[in-house]
Amino acid sequence: MITNNNIYTSQIVNKDYKGLRIDKFLALSFPEISRAQIQRLIQNGNVSCDETIISDNSFKVKENDSYQIFVPPAVDADPKPENIPLNVVYEDADLIVVNKPAGMTVHPAPGALSGTLVNALLYHCQDLSGIGGVKRPGIVHRIDKDTSGLLVIAKNDTAHHFLSEQFFYHTIERTYYALVYNIPNPLKGKIVGNIARSSFDRKKMAIVQNGGKYAATNYETMETFHNFASLVKCNLETGRTHQIRVHMASIGCNLIGDQVYVKSKKTSIKGIDENLKSLVNSFPRQALHATTLGFVHPRSKEFVQFSSEFPDDFANLLDNLRK
């Protein structure tokens, strides 16, 4: 039950919920508020029972009690709005889908505090109702700085929670296209391998035999070029850091232009035009584009799908390979 715009009052605890953790009880009581946000509110002293503040997430609720959540008004985010052009594919009151260019970082971080997608969104979106009590866009997934393509961003807590659930349970549809060295064998298949931070190079991820996170990539070879390169379509069952780059490298098909997972010698291409060889080996970023994105809309509950064309640099490289 909502008593006003900022205070939520729970149902009275019955015997079925007696002894449940306070964060879990409130998450069940208010599905429109994520459990992570509820935990932050508890830690910040914004949950109470009558006049008693509850500040411990593991507090056990008591029968016949009810609890109040105070959600502070949204405050300005630390990142500053910046007038950076955005390629908006779709936008409504709940979310925005953008086609991110290669070279743009998604979220501010040390060394990249401006010029990010978040900075651009803060300027573009004038209807942010707040994520976790802060006026900021809800980033529910990321793609690498030098990967181009589609991203969905939530504008409010309800949309953020709904989309995050889909990413958590891997029900989001995501299709990428990659230009890779060599030709996959077999031409179509599924790569499964747990991914974790490399123990040899902290900048890299690696397939590991023990530990790590389960990762699965379905791939299909769409075109081959001169027996040294291929256009590959990848559908992600999971979304791990550098997943496509690591999985394709594991079958000997490193992404063209990858500055992390391709050896310095690039490739021993023989018998092809030197200009084409130079173009391939000097491509300045991993040739990877997030082409398709599909999910259930948080308000309509209908499945929606969006797609984007290859950016100019990717399309130019592909055209030259075809020639």
- 70 to 15, 53, 61, 81, 177: CA distances (angstroms): 25, 11, 17, 27, 45
Alpha carbon distance 163, 112 (integer Å): 26
Whole-number Å distance between alpha carbons of 160 and 139: 8
Based on the residue annotation, tell me whether 273 is a catalytic residue of this protein. no
Give DSSP secondary structure letters for 59-77. PBP-TT---EEE-PPPEE-
For the chain, give the number of residues. 323
- Indicate which residue of 144, 146, 157, 258 is catalytic: 144
| Residue 130 DSSP symbol | B
Q: Residue 309 has which token pair?
A: 């064309």
Q: Which residue, 169, 168, 243, 234, is CA-closest to 207?
A: 243
- For the annotated catalytic residues, the residue numbers are 144
